[in-house]
Structure formats: structure tokens, C-alpha cells
Amino acid sequence: MIVVWRITQRCNLSCPFCAYDRRGSWPRRDADLESIRRFGVVLGEYQRLTGDQVLVSWIGGEPFLFPSLAELTVFFTRDLGLRVSATTNGTTLGSAVVRDHVRDHYSELTVSVDGIGAVHDTLRLWPGGYATLRRSVRQIAEAKRGPRLRANVILMRHTIAEFEPLCFELADWGIEEITFNQLGGRDRPEFFPKHRLLPEDAAWLQSQLPQLRHRLSRLGVRLKGGDAYLRRIQASSRDETIPVADCRPGEQFLFVNELGDAAPCSFTSSGYGVSLSKIGDVQALLDLPERFARARRERRLAPCEDCQSTQIFEKFNSRPETAIVH
């Protein structure tokens, strides 16, 4: 069971492609701490009773800005026996205290990297950010203990050409796994048209990925993104829709937003979300898949007619190395 939990809408960077750009003037919400703890207890009991290991993944905004995140994570890992990960912009990793905490309590850490050097710094409006992030990640990697280190790259029209050299840069940092997303248009529709991937970009990615994956594997780095994921990117580049009739909602994946609503994915919280206050025990958690499935049968939401949920399309899978022709 993977639970992706958006615990805050706050962020300290200004990325023009992201909904949580700090320049936005709207109020930012944090998840309720006690609600997180209560549902954590349910997840811990679920894991104990079913033997199904749970990974809770903090996202934001910038999750490391969430108050009491360190204490909350210790509670989840030490007291409840759950695994914890996070996706971060890396701005807080310059602190030795934060790095030590991550080494001691996180199973996975994903850092967001968009390009090499000034490309990354400009996209995030973080002068010197790339060098700072590289130094911090290396310090975690050199400790020889701690989480699996992953980098996630958002591919845009003007950055995709340097995806390959960026991957080797990340390997040099000590990154063990690389994932990628295409630029999406829902968060910042004003930024999307000039920076989205075109069909020729998607075709280039498909042609280059097998050999790049093979070369990285020689360095001990796993490049993710299965065939279904590449088809999703190709379809998006052509404005083609991919409906999903049955995503088996809630069986192995939950998304929880800062309001405390659990849903099959981040795109369906408003239509299928169930308040954590109604999932107070393991049986209620076990009942969620049928509850979600019934809601989908009664009313299919628009996002289901063009599914963008990366976990459905094998983002974290990869083609076997044996498929490579030398």
C-alpha cells in the first residue's frame, strides 16, 4: 500500500509550472496534525493485520516546511512501523540536522531536479540552487546509510535535450533511481503551451530511453518509465485521451490531500474523496476499494476519461534490460 499525502500547500520556491509557486497570493493550508496521526494508527494496524507493508510518501508544496514533520515521521516509523518517503525541492537539505533525520528515518527520498546548473536555478528562481542541491545529496549519499535516493525530472520542450547528460550528472551525485514526468497543463495553463512536449519530443524520448537505461544501469542507476508510461506521454503530446475503465481504485494506492480527503488519485479528490474522519479503523480502510468503485460506476469523473495518474501508467516500472538490442 502506497499512501501519497499532500501535507502542505506551502512552498519556498517560485516555479512557474507549479500550482504552489510561493508568489501566489492565496492562503496556504496545512494538513491537520492530529488527523494525520490518527490515520497513521489505522495504517499501522492495517499493516500488522494484513502483512501488507505501507509506504507513506509526504508531498507538498514543500513537505519539509510542514510544522512538526520530523516528530510526525518518527512517530510513523518508530512507533507505528511504517515506511516513509518524501518528494522535496531540497532547500532544507543543507541542514545537517535535516540530513541526519532523513538518513535515520526515511526509506526513500526524491529530489526534484529540472536541468543542469543555471537551467534548474532559473526554473526554480533559486540562485545557486543546483550546486546547493548537488552538495546536499552527495552528503547524504556519502554516509553509506539512509534512504534510497531518487531524482525526479520534469521534462519540457526546452530541457528534454539535456535529459541524458542530466541523468549522468545525477548518477555522479549518488542518485540511485531516476524518474520523470512530462510537463502537465493543469497547474499553470499559462505556462504550458510554450513549454509542453511535442510529438517529436515524445518520439525522441522513446527512441533514446532503452540505451540510456542500459548505460545508467552499468553505473548502478535505475532509470524508470515503462512502455505504458511512454505511450501516455506520446498521447498527451498529440492531445489524445486515454480513458481508464477500471484502475482498481484504493487497492494499493491512496492519495490524501491537505483537507484530509482520501481518494484514488490526486485528480479525483473532489469527486471521490472520503474524509479521514470516516476511515477510523482497518475495516473502513479495507472497504475503500469497493466504495471508490461504486462511486465510479455511479458517476465517472472527467479525469477518468483521460487518466493522467502516473502510477496507473508504470512510471516506476522499466523495460527489462534483455529487451535491449546491442
Per-residue pLDDT tens for 110-138?
999 999 999 999 999 999 999 999 999 99
What span, in angstroms and rounded, lies between the C-alpha atoms of 148 and 107?
A: 6
pLDDT given at position 323: 34
Cα–Cα distance list, 115 to 30, 153, 188 (Å): 29, 8, 19
Region for 90 from its dihedrals, namely left if φ exceeds 0, alpha if ψ lies in -120 to 50, beta otherwise: left
State the Cα torsion 98-17-230-160 to the nearest 10°.
-90
* Across 22-31, 164-173, 176-185, 311-320, least confident range: 311-320
- Name the residue with higher pLDDT: 6 or 26: 6
Taken in order of first residue, the domains within the chain and their CATH numbers are: 2-323 (3.20.20.70)
Model confidence at 145, pLDDT cuts 50, 70, 90, reads: confident
Percent of the chain with pLDDT over 70: 97
Phi and psi at residue 211, to the nearest 5°? -70, -40
* The pLDDT value given to residue 25: 87
| pLDDT of 80 strictly over 70 | yes
The whole-number pLDDT of residue 144 equals: 77
Q: What is the pLDDT of residue 138?
A: 97
SS3 30: strand
Going from the C-alpha of 246 to that of each of 1, 203, 295, 305, 311, the distances in angstroms are: 18, 28, 12, 11, 13
Asked if pLDDT for residue 321 goes beyond 50, the answer is no
Average pLDDT of every residue of the chain: 95
Residue type, 196: R
Cell of 286: 479495507
Determine the pLDDT at residue 273: 97
Residue of 90, 84, 64 whose CA lies nearest to 10: 64
Q: What is the mean pLDDT of residues 86-112?
A: 98
- Measure the CA–CA gap between 61 and 204, rounded to whole angstroms: 31
Residues 202-225 pLDDT 10s: 999 999 999 999 999 999 999 999
Measured CA to CA in angstroms, residue 297 lies from 69, 185, 301 at distances of 37, 27, 10
Q: Quick one: pLDDT band at residue 319, thresholds 50, 70, 90?
A: low
Strand ranges in the chain using DSSP code E only, listed in sequence order: 2-6, 55-59, 83-88, 108-112, 148-155, 177-182, 222-223, 253-256, 261-263, 274-275
Count, residues in the chain = 326
* Distance between CA atoms of residues 100 and 22, nearest Å: 27
> Is the pLDDT reported for residue 320 higher than 90?
no
Mean pLDDT score, 73-96: 98
Report whether 296 contacts 249 (CB < 8 A).
yes
Burial class (CB in 10 A: 0-12, 13-18, 19+), 71: exposed
